[in-house]
C-alpha cells in the first residue's frame, strides 16, 4: 500500500506493470500457438478459448496455417497407412463395427436397431415425433431406416395426422414446419440382415428439398462418407467408396426426383467412345433444360402468319447423355419424366458437391471425397480421364456450388480449341503459382470465417451465411518438383475447407494411377491403390468435352456463339433429314380439319401429355408395351406412314438389326392385340401396312395432336381477321399438355419444343387480334399462354401493358413480381426492357 501511495517519480511502477502485462500476453500467445500446433499435428481442432483470449488464438491459428504453406511438407504429418480407410464392396457383418460410425448425436436412429424376434407376429407400432427446426423428411427417414429415399413412407403415414392448433397440415414432403407431428412407421428387420450404413454426407438423389443435403439424381445409392463431427478435423487422406450394387431398392421411386438405380449401367458409353457417369449425365440433362428455358425467355413471340423457326437441338453427345439420364432415373422406373421447369426447380436445394465419381469397378461406381483429394493421373488415358472429372465438376457448379482452378497451359492441354470463357465455375489462372496463391488466400479466409462464426465445419458455415457460397474447390494442374511441397500443403490444409487437387502426373504424397488408353487402371500407388487397381475411369474425347462445355455456357444464359446443328441421319439410314432432325411444321401436315359432322372414331390416341389409348369405355390401362407406346407416338407424327427402317432408326437406333426388327414387329403386334381386346373387334388392323409403309388407320383412330396441328394449319391459311380469330380460338382447348411427356427420344423432345412454340405464337397472335375490341379476352389468352410457357418474358410485357390499359397498375406490378420469381429459377432477373416498362407504367398509371 505504501508503494502505491508513494510518488512514482522514476516511472518504475508503470514500467513494471507494462512488463507484467506484456509477458502475460506473450505467455498466453505462446500457449495458444503450442495448442494450435499440437492440435493440427493431431488432426483435430483446438478447444475454443474464452473471448478475452480468443484474438490471440485466432492469430496463432493463422500463423500455423501460414507456416505450413510456407515451409511445405516440413510441418506436415502424413496419415499412416494403417489409418487409411480402404474401399470395400461388402456390407459389414452385424458383429463388425462400421468403418466410420456416426459420432454425432444428430444421427442417432429414431427407431431402435435391435432385431425383433423372428416369431414376432405383428408389425411394430409406429412412433410419433414432433418436428424441430432444421428437420426434413429425408433426414428423418435416413435416421429411422438408414436410407433417406424411404421418406415417402413417413410422408404417407403422416398426412392424416391431426396437427396442434395453429400448425399447418403436412401436405408437401418438401415443407416441414416446427411443431408439426409426424408418424414414423416401424419396420421389422430380418435377423440375418445387418443394419444399413448411415452417414450425414451420404449422397442420395430423390430426396425432398432440404437445406444443404445433396440430392443429385445421378449419384449411385449406398455412397457414404465419414461425417464431419463438430470440433474435429476430417481425415487428411480421403477414403474412396465403391458403391455396391443395390439389391434392395425401395419399391416405389421418389415422386420428385427418382434415383438412377440401374446397376447394369453404372456408366454411359457415348457413340464417340467417351464413357461418362450418371452424375455428369444428370448435370447435362439439367443444363439442356436450363438452356431451353433461357431460349424461351429470350425468343421474340411471333404474332405473324409466318411459321416459327425450328428449335435448336443440343449437341449429339449431350443429347445422348440426357436421354440416358432420363431413361435410367425415370422411364425405366415407370416414373413421370420431369419437365424442364421441374428439373430447374429441383436444382435449387442441391448443395455443393462433396465427392467426385472417378469410374467403375465390377459394375460399381467409385467415389472419392473431394475435400483433401490428392490424386495423380499418368499414362495414355490421363488427359481423357481428367477431362471427364473436371467437366463433371463444372457441370455441377451452378449457383456457385463448385469452382475449378486450372492454369492456362493445362487448360489448353485438356480442352484444346474449346471456348472456355463465361463458363460458370471455371477460373483459369496464368500459372500454377497464381492458382496456389489464390487457394492460400481462400484457406485463410475460410479459417477466419469458421473462427468468427464458431462453426465446426464448412457445411455448418454455409448454412450460417448463405450469402457467401463457399464453393467446393478443385485445383487441376501439372505440378513440377519445386512447387510439389506447396501443393501438398494446400491439399492437407484444404481437407477442412473443401479443397482438393487433381494432378496431371504423379502425386508422390497422394495416390497415383497409371492408365491405359482406355483409362483402365493397370497400376496404382498410394493410400487407395487396392481400391482403384483394375477400375475403369470415366473419360471424354476432346470433341465431346467441347460440346458439353458449350452447353454449360448456354445453360447460364450466354447466347450461342455459333449455331449447333441438329445431327444428320445415321450412316446407311434411308431417313431424310426432315424425319430425323425435325418434325413437320403444321402447314406441312395434310390432315383434314375436324368438323362437328365428322364420324366419331373407335379409338382415341392421346399424345398430348402421357401417351394413352382410349375407347368409348375409357382409357386402356393394361396390355400396352412400352415399345408399342413409343411407336404409337411416332406414328402419330407421320400420318402419311413410315417404313420399318424409319421406325427402327427413330426408336431403336442402338439395337442390332435383328433385335430392332423383332422389337418393331412385337410393338405392331402388341398394338393390334391390345386394341382388338379392348374393342372386341377382330377384323381391323388398326396399324395398316400398305406399299411398305405403316400408318395408323385414320378411319378408326383419332389423334389429338393431329387435330391441333390441323387447326394451326387452318389458322395460317385464313385470309381475314374474323377467320383467323375463329380458327385460333379452339387452340387453347386443344393444347391440353406438352407432346408425349413420357418419351425421352430426341425426335419427341424436338417436336415437343416445336409444338409448344407454335401454340404460344398462335395464342399471342390471337391476343393481338383481340386486344383492341376485346382486351379482357386478349388478357385471358395471354395468361393461358403463360401457363404453357412461364418463362417467356415478352408475354409478361404484353400482359403488363394490357393490365395498365385496363386501369390495373397494381396487377401489372404483380405480374412483374411473378416474372421475377420465376426467372429466379434460372438464376437471372427481368431484363432492362421489362424493368423500364414497369417504371413507365408506375410513372404514368
Averaging pLDDT over each range in 77-86, 191-200, 235-244, which range is the top one? 235-244
C-alpha cell read off for 115: 432385431
CB 336 within 8 A of CB 741: yes
In the chain, how long is the greatest CA-to-CA distance?
126
> Average pLDDT in the 570-592 region?
35
What values do phi and psi take at 312, rounded to 5?
-85, 130
Transcribe 220-273 into DSSP letters.
PTT-------TTBPPPSSPPPEEPPP-SS--SS--SS------TT-SEEE-TTS
pLDDT for position 522 = 93
24-51 mean pLDDT: 72
Most confident of 135-149, 171-185, 545-559: 545-559
Instruction: Please state, in angstroms and rounded to a whole number, the distance separating the CA atoms of residues 826 and 720.
Output: 40
CB 355 within 8 A of CB 368: yes
Place of cell 395408323: 696
H-assigned helices in 72-136: none
Higher pLDDT pick, 666 / 265:
666
- Residues 320 and 285: their CA atoms lie apart, in Å, by 10
Across 219-236, average pLDDT: 35
Beta bridge partners of 539: 275
Whether residue 199 contacts residue 225, with contact meaning beta carbons closer than 8 Å, is answered with yes
Q: What is the pLDDT of residue 730?
A: 95
Phi, psi torsion values for 293, nearest 5 degrees: -65, -40
- pLDDT value of position 199: 37
Query: CATH homologous superfamily of domain 267-301+311-555?
Result: P-loop containing nucleotide triphosphate hydrolases (3.40.50.300)
Q: How high is the pLDDT of residue 564? A: 38
For residue 417, count CB atoms less than 10 angstroms from its CB and return exposed for 0-12, middle for 13-18, buried for 19 or more: exposed
Place of cell 426408336: 651
| pLDDT tens readout for residues 517-533 | 999 999 999 888 888 99
Distance CA 724, CA 715 (A): 5
Residue 510: name the closest of 484, 542, 483, 540 by CA.
Answer: 484
Mean pLDDT of 369-395: 95
Q: Which residues pair with 426 in a beta bridge?
A: 404
pLDDT per position as a tens digit, 267-306: 899 999 999 999 999 999 999 999 999 988 877 666 555 4
Q: What residue ranges do the domains of the chain occupy?
A: 17-75, 124-187+196-227, 267-301+311-555, 577-709, 721-843
Residues 6+ apart with CB under 8 A from 636: 605, 607, 696, 703, 705, 706
Q: Beta strand pairing status for 275-277 and 267-269?
A: antiparallel
Q: Which three cell numbers, joined as nine digits, stand for 173?
A: 414432403
Q: How confident is the model at residue 669 (pLDDT cuts 50, 70, 90)?
A: very high
Percent of the chain surpassing pLDDT 90: 47
CA–CA dist 665, 62 (Å, integer): 72
pLDDT one-digit tens code per residue, 614-648 = 999 899 989 999 999 999 999 999 999 999 999 99
When the pLDDT of each residue in the chain is averaged and rounded to a whole number, the result is 77
Please report the pLDDT score of residue 155 as a whole number.
83
CA distance 280 to 278: 5
- Say if residue 573's pLDDT is above 90: no
What does the alpha-carbon distance between residue 761 and residue 753 come to, in Å, rounded to a whole number? 12
Place of cell 426492357: 833
pLDDT at 748: 94
Whole-angstrom distance, CA of residue 290 vs CA of residue 791: 11
Whether the per-residue pLDDT at 117 is higher than 50: the answer is no
Q: Which three cell numbers stand for residue 436?
A: 496456389
Q: Say if residue 774 is exposed, middle or buried (CB neighbours under 10 Å; 0-12, 13-18, 19+).
A: middle
Q: CB–CB of 211/349 below 8 Å?
A: yes
Q: Is 769 helix (H, G, I), strand (E, B) or coil?
A: helix
More confident residue, 210 or 431: 431
Which pLDDT score, from 0 to 100, does residue 311 have? 63
Residue 302: what pLDDT? 63
The residues near 21 (Cβ < 8 Å, ≥ 6 apart) are none
pLDDT above 70: residue 719: yes
User: How far is the C-alpha of 447 from the C-alpha of 61, rounded, in Å?
Assistant: 8
The grid coordinates of residue 84 equal 487409411
Distance (Å) of CA 368 to CA 224, 237, 260, 378, 487 = 10, 10, 19, 18, 19
In 10 A of CB 830, how many CB atoms? 20
CATH H-level, domain 721-843: superfamily: Tetratricopeptide repeat domain (1.25.40.10)
Report residue 339 as a C-alpha cell.
419437365
For residue 687 the three cell numbers come to: 396399324
Which CATH topology does 577-709 take?
Arc Repressor Mutant, subunit A (1.10.10)
Would the pLDDT of 104 be above 60?
Answer: no
Q: How far, CA to CA in Å, does 450 sit from each of 400, 401, 444, 463, 493?
A: 19, 18, 10, 12, 14
Phi and psi torsions of 802, nearest 5°: -65, -40
pTM over 0.75: no
Measure the CA–CA gap between 554 and 311, rounded to whole angstroms.
Answer: 14
Higher pLDDT, 278 or 117: 278
Q: Do 461 and 450 touch, CB atoms closer than 8 A?
A: yes
Position 654 scores a pLDDT of 85
Of the pLDDT bands very low, low, confident and very high (cuts 50, 70, 90), residue 241 is low
- 402 or 216: which leads in pLDDT: 402
- pLDDT > 70 fraction of the chain, expressed in percent and rounded: 72
Using alpha carbons, select from 805, 806, 804, 784 the residue that is nearest to residue 795: 784
- Which residues neighbour 248 within 8 Å (Cβ) at sequence distance 6 or greater? none
Burial (Cβ within 10 Å: 0-12, 13-18, ≥19) of residue 187? middle
pLDDT in tens, 795-823: 999 999 999 998 888 999 999 999 999 99
Q: What is the pLDDT of residue 118?
A: 43
* 3 state DSSP class of 603: strand
Half-sphere exposure of 742 (CA within 13 A, CB side): 21
**H/E/C letters for each residue in 652-719?**
CCCCCHHHHHHHHHHHHHHHHHHHHHHHCCCCCCCEEEECCEEEECCCCEEEHHHHHHHHHHHHHHCC
| Distance between CA atoms of residues 165 and 810, nearest Å | 35
Give the mean model confidence (pLDDT) for residues 343-358.
88
Tell which wins on pLDDT, 343 or 169: 343
Mean predicted confidence (pLDDT) in 576-580: 35
Cell numbers of 96, please? Answer: 463388425
Mean pLDDT of 787-801: 92
Rounded-to-integer distance, Cα 813 and Cα 845, Å:
11
Residue 762 above 60 pLDDT?
yes
> What's the distance, CA 644 to chain centroid?
37
Mean pLDDT on 133-146:
75
Question: Which grid cell sits at 265?
Answer: 449401367
Q: Give the β-pairing of 536-537 and 181-184.
A: unpaired
Sign of CA dihedral 647, 603, 595, 782: negative
Question: Of 406 and 235, which is predicted with more confidence?
Answer: 406
- Name the band, by pLDDT with cuts 50, 70 and 90, for residue 563: very low
**DSSP symbol at 771:** T
Mark out the alpha helices in 718-831 (DSSP H runs). Answer: 721-728, 731-734, 746-770, 775-788, 793-805, 809-823
Does 307 score more than 70 pLDDT?
no
Q: What is the mean pLDDT of residues 156-184?
A: 79
Mean pLDDT of 434-456: 91
* C-alpha closest to that of 487 among 472, 476, 497: 476
Cα 652 versus chain centre, distance: 27
Helical residues (DSSP H) of 396-514, grouped into ranges: 408-414, 432-453, 458-464, 481-494
Amino acid at each position: 500500500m505504501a508503494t502505491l501511495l508513494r510518488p512514482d517519480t522514476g516511472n518504475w511502477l508503470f514500467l513494471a506493470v507494462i512488463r507484467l502485462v506484456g509477458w502475460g500476453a506473450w505467455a498466453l500467445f505462446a500457449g495458444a500457438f503450442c495448442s494450435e500446433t499440437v492440435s493440427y499435428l493431431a488432426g483435430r481442432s483446438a478447444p475454443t478459448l474464452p473471448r478475452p483470449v480468443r484474438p490471440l488464438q485466432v492469430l496463432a491459428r493463422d500463423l500455423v496455417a501460414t507456416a505450413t504453406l510456407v515451409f511445405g511438407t516440413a510441418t506436415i504429418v502424413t496419415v499412416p497407412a494403417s489409418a487409411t480407410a480402404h474401399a470395400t464392396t461388402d456390407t459389414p457383418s452385424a458383429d463388425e463395427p462400421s468403418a466410420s460410425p456416426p459420432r454425432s448425436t444428430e444421427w442417432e436412429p429414431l427407431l431402435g436397431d435391435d432385431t425383433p424376434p423372428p416369431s414376432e407376429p405383428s408389425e411394430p407400432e409406429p412412433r410419433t415425433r414432433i418436428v424441430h427446426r432444421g428437420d426434413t423428411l429425408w433426414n428423418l427417414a435416413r435416421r429411422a431406416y438408414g436410407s433417406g429415399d424411404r421418406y415417402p413412407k413417413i410422408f404417407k403415414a403422416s398426412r392424416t395426422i391431426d396437427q396442434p392448433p395453429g400448425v399447418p397440415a403436412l401436405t408437401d414432403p418438401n415443407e416441414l414446419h416446427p411443431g408439426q407431428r409426424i408418424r414414423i412407421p416401424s419396420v421389422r428387420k430380418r435377423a440375418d440382415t445387418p443394419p444399413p450404413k448411415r452417414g450425414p454426407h451420404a449422397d442420395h438423389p430423390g430426396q425432398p428439398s432440404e437445406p444443404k443435403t445433396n440430392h443429385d439424381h445421378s449419384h449411385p445409392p449406398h455412397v457414404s462418407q465419414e461425417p464431419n463431427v463438430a470440433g474435429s478435423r476430417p481425415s487428411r487422406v480421403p477414403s474412396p467408396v465403391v458403391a455396391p450394387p443395390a439389391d434392395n431398392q425401395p419399391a416405389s421411386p421418389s415422386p420428385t426426383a427418382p434415383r438412377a438405380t440401374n446397376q447394369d449401367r453404372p456408366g454411359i458409353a457415348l457413340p464417340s467412345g467417351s464413357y461418362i457417369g450418371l452424375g455428369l449425365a444428370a448435370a447435362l440433362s439439367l443444363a439442356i433444360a436450363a438452356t431451353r428455358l433461357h431460349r424461351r425467355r429470350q425468343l421474340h413471340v411471333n404474332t405473324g402468319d409466318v411459321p416459327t423457326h425450328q428449335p435448336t437441338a443440343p449437341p449429339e453427345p449431350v443429347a445422348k447423355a440426357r436421354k440416358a439420364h432420363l431413361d435410367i432415373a425415370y422411364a425405366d422406373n415407370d416414373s413421370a419424366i420431369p419437365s424442364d421447369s421441374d428439373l430447374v426447380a429441383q436444382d435449387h436445394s442441391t448443395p455443393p458437391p462433396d465427392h467426385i465419381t472417378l469410374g467403375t469397378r465390377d459394375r460399381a461406381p467409385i467415389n472419392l471425397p473431394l475435400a483433401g483429394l490428392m490424386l495423380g493421373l499418368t499414362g495414355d488415358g490421363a488427359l481423357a480421364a481428367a477431362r471427364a472429372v473436371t467437366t463433371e465438376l463444372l457441370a455441377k457448379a451452378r449457383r456457385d456450388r463448385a469452382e475449378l482452378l486450372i492454369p492456362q497451359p493445362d487448360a489448353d492441354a485438356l480442352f484444346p480449341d474449346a471456348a472456355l470463357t463465361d463458363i460458370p465455375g471455371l477460373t483459369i489462372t496464368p500459372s500454377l503459382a497464381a492458382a496456389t496463391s489464390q487457394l492460400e488466400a481462400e484457406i485463410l479466409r475460410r479459417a477466419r470465417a469458421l473462427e468468427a462464426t464458431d462453426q465446426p465445419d464448412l457445411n455448418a458455415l454455409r448454412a450460417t451465411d448463405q450469402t457467401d457460397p463457399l464453393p467446393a474447390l478443385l485445383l487441376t494442374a501439372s505440378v513440377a518438383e519445386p512447387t510439389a511441397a506447396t501443393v501438398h500443403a494446400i491439399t492437407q490444409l484444404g481437407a477442412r475447407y473443401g479443397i482438393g487437387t487433381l494432378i496431371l502426373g504423379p502425386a508422390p504424397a497422394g495416390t497415383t494411377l497409371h492408365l491405359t488408353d482406355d483409362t483402365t487402371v493397370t497400376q496404382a500407388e498410394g493410400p487407395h491403390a487396392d481400391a482403384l487397381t483394375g477400375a475403369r475411369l470415366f473419360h471424354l474425347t476432346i470433341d465431346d468435352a467441347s460440346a458439353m462445355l458449350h452447353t454449360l455456357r448456354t445453360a447460364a444464359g450466354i447466347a450461342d456463339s455459333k449455331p449447333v446443328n441438329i445431327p444428320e441421319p445415321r450412316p446407311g439410314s434411308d431417313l431424310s433429314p426432315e424425319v430425323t432432325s425435325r418434325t413437320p411444321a403444321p402447314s406441312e401436315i395434310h390432315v383434314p380439319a375436324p368438323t362437328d359432322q365428322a364420324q366419331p372414331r373407335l379409338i382415341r390416341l392421346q399424345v398430348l401429355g402421357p401417351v394413352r389409348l382410349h375407347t368409348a369405355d375409357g382409357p386402356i390401362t393394361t396390355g400396352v408395351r412400352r415399345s408399342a407406346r413409343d411407336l404409337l407416338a411416332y406414328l402419330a407424327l407421320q400420318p402419311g406412314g413410315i417404313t420399318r427402317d424409319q421406325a427402327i432408326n427413330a426408336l431403336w437406333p442402338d439395337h442390332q438389326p435383328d433385335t430392332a426388327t423383332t422389337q418393331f414387329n412385337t410393338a405392331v403386334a402388341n398394338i393390334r392385340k391390345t386394341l382388338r381386346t379392348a374393342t372386341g373387334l377382330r377384323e381391323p388392323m388398326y396399324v395398316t401396312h400398305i406399299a411398305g409403309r405403316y400408318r395408323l388407320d385414320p378411319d378408326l383412330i383419332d389423334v389429338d395432336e393431329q387435330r391441333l396441328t390441323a387447326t394451326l394449319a387452318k389458322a395460317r391459311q385464313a385470309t381475314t381477321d374474323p377467320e383467323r380469330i375463329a380458327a385460333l380460338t379452339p387452340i387453347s382447348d386443344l393444347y391440353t399438355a406438352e407432346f408425349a411427356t413420357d418419351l425421352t427420344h430426341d425426335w419427341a423432345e424436338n417436336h415437343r419444343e416445336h409444338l409448344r412454340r407454335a401454340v404460344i405464337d398462335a395464342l399471342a397472335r390471337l391476343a393481338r387480334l383481340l386486344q383492341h375490341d376485346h382486351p379482357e379476352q386478349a388478357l385471358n389468352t395471354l395468361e393461358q399462354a403463360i401457363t404453357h410457357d412461364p418463362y417467356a418474358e415478352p408475354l409478361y410485357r404484353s400482359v403488363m401493358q394490357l393490365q395498365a390499359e385496363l386501369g390495373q397498375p397494381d396487377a401489372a406490378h404483380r405480374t412483374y413480381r411473378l416474372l421475377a420469381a420465376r426467372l429466379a429459377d434460372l438464376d437471372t432477373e427481368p431484363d432492362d426492357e421489362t424493368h423500364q416498362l414497369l417504371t413507365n407504367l408506375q410513372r404514368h398509371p
